[in-house]
A and B are shown apart, each in its own frame.
Chain A
Amino acid sequence: IVPVAGLCPQGSYGIQDSLRSGFTSVKNELLPSHPLELSEKNFVLNQDKMNFSTLRNIQGLHAPLKLQMEYRAARQIQRLPFLQSSNLALDTLRGSDDTIGFEDILSDPAQSETMGEPHMMVEYKLGLL
C-alpha cells in the first residue's frame, strides 16, 4: 500500500493549501522522481510491518499489539511545533539508537536554512489560526 499525497489535499475546504504545502503538480504526485523514492519513503514502515508480523507468528498477537501501543505513546513525545524532536524514546524502542544511518548524517535539522515562524506554527497547532 503506497500513500499518494495530493489526491486528498489537506487544506481547509478540501483544496490545496499553497501556503503550507506548496504548489500542486499532478505528475509529482503520481510518478516518483527517483526509482528508490517510494521504497525509501516506506522503508521504516515496511521494516516495522515485517518485524511485527514475525513477532506475531512467534509470540502471538499481543506482543506486537503491546509494542505498537508503546510506539504510539513514544511518538507523542514531541517538542513545540517548530522545534525538531530527537525521538529518543522511539529510537530506543525501535533499536535504532545504536546504529548510524544516512538520516543521522544528512539533512541535519540544526543546519537547516529555513525555519518555521514560531508564533504562527503554535497558533496553527492550537487551532487559533
Chain B
Amino acid sequence: TRKMETRSETSAFPFLFLLHTETLSFDDAADGVILGADTRATDDMVVADKNCRKIHHIAPRIYCCGAGVAADAEIATQMMASNVELHTLNTGRPPLVAMVTRQLKQMLFRYQGHMGSSVIVGGVDVTGAHLYSVYPHGSYDKLPFLTMGSGAAAAVSVFEDRFKANMELDEAKRLVRDAITAGIFCDLGSGSNVDLCVITAAGAEYLRGYDRPAGKGKREGQYRYKPGTTPVLTKTQTPLSLDVVYETVQMMDTE
C-alpha cells in the first residue's frame, strides 16, 4: 500500500518575476518600474493554483513580488504593508522603497532563512524609482533589473540580451512580458499567465492577465467510443424516490 503524504505546508511557488527600471519617454524623464510575474503556484510537482496573484500591494507606489513559500511571502508582504501604513500615518510622509527593503531584510535575517520568501520590492518614491531583491536569509541587491524564483535563469537571459537603459514604456513592457514568457515555457515551476505592474510617479497600474501565452491545446481527434461498443447483456432498473433538497452546479475544467 502506498503511504499518502498529507502536506499541511502551503504550496511553494518557485516562480519567476522580474523588474527593471526604464525611463518613460512621455513623462519628462520620469522614472518608472515594471514588475512582472507568472501565475502558477505549485505543491512540489502538482500545480496548486493556475492563476494566483504574486504581485502584492505594499503602498500606493510600492509593489512587491513574492517567490518561495507562498504563505511566507504572503505574510511577509502583508506585514510590510501594515508597517508601512503605520509609518506613513506616524510621520505624515510617503514611504521609501529602501524602508520596505530594510524592514524586510531585518525580519528575514531574524528568522535565519526559515522564512522561505524571496521577494522583489519595486516602486517609486520621492527619491526616484528603485528596485531591490531580498533573499530568504536577509541579503539584498539593488540593480537595474532582477529576477527571482525557479524561472530566474530563463528570465534573466532575456534581460541580459535585450535590456538597455532609458527604454520606452511599450518596449519595456514587451521585454518584461518576453522574459516571463521565457520562464513560463522553459521552467516547470512557472506557467499560466503574465501579470504586469507598471509603477510611475503618477501611480501604479496592475495589469492582471496581461498576456496568456499558455493556452489549452486543441484536441486533434475524437476519442469517445460509439454507443453500443460494449454489448449490454442484462439491465435492471430500481427507481429510488428522492427529493431534491439542494442543488449546486460546479464547473470542472474538462474539455
Q: Which residues of A contact B (CB under 8 A)?
A: 35-36, 39, 43, 98-102, 105
Contacts and interface: CB of A to CB of B under 8 A. Distances in A.
B240 to A, nearest CB: 44
Interface residues of B, number: 10
5 residue pairs, one from A and one from B, having the closest CB atoms = A100-B82, A98-B86, A98-B90, A99-B83, A100-B83
Contact of A98 (B87, B110, B111, B112): B87
Contacts, number: 20
B79 interface: yes
A10 to B, nearest CB: 30
A60 B87 CA distance: 30
A101 B112 contact: no
Interface in B30-77: none
Contacts of B82: 100
Main secondary structure of the interface of B (DSSP, over half): helix
A98 B82 CA distance: 10
Given A100-B82, A100-B83, A36 B90 contact: no
10 contacts: A35-B112, A35-B114, A36-B111, A36-B112, A98-B86, A98-B90, A99-B86, A100-B79, A100-B82, A100-B83
Contacts of B110: 39, 43
A105 B82 CA distance: 11
B86 A36 contact: no
Contacts of A35: 112, 114
A101 B110 CA distance: 12
Contacts of A101: 79
B208 to A, nearest CB: 27
Contacts of A36: 111-112, 114
B86 A100 contact: yes
A105 B71 CA distance: 14
B78 to A, nearest CB: 9
A100 B82 CA distance: 7
